[in-house]
Amino acid sequence: MIDHVIITVSDIDRSVEFYDRALKPLGLGHVIDFDGSTGPEGHPDLKGFGTDTAFTFWLRQGASQGGAAYIGFAAPSAGAVDAAYTEAIAAGATDGNAPAKRPYYGPGYYAATVLDPDGYSIEFTYKA
């Protein structure tokens, strides 16, 4: 099981705003900042996303590598997939695949995909 994921983004403020908005329909948001100076030498500052008790998705400032990651976020319903997709597009994402059933991945699989402002593929997924 994965504990956390960190991606490097070219504009940390833009990405914090984007992900805070896009992940809100999933019950996730920007919940913590990690000051790199409190860690080992050279540790970057990080922006953490999740819930009040679990922060599993992190951003750090730097040179992004857009196509290098494909990240899927679990949604609590098909409606949450639709809402996350709508918010992501409104926040500056590029359409990857509009919300739809994806039975070729499994029964009850419903998802949407966007490209974030750095070109990372982000999927919002509900599995009925």
Going from N- to C-terminal start, the domains of the chain cover: 5-127
Q: What mean pLDDT do residues 69-92 have?
A: 97
Residue 26 has what pLDDT?
A: 97
Structural class in CATH, domain 5-127: alpha beta
β 109-115/121-127 pair status = antiparallel
User: Which one-letter amino acid corresponds to residue 48?
Assistant: G
Q: What mean pLDDT do residues 6-33 have?
A: 97
Residue 66 has what pLDDT?
A: 86
pLDDT above 90 (res 17): yes
Instruction: Indicate the average pLDDT of the chain.
Output: 96
> Rounded to whole angstroms, how far apart are CA atoms 48 and 29?
8
Residue 112 has what pLDDT?
A: 98
- Of residues 67, 70, 64, 88, the one with CA closest to residue 5: 70
pLDDT above 90 (res 91): yes
With bands split at pLDDT 50, 70 and 90, how would you rate the model's confidence at 27?
A: very high
Residue 75 has what pLDDT?
A: 98
Each residue's pLDDT tens digit, 47-63: 999 999 999 999 999 99
Residue 61 has what pLDDT?
A: 97
pLDDT above 90 (res 20): yes
* CB burial of residue 19 (10 Å; 0-12, 13-18, 19+): buried
Residue 127 has what pLDDT?
A: 97
> Rounded to whole angstroms, how far apart are CA atoms 76 and 26?
7
Q: How many CA atoms lie within 13 A of 14 on its CB side?
A: 12
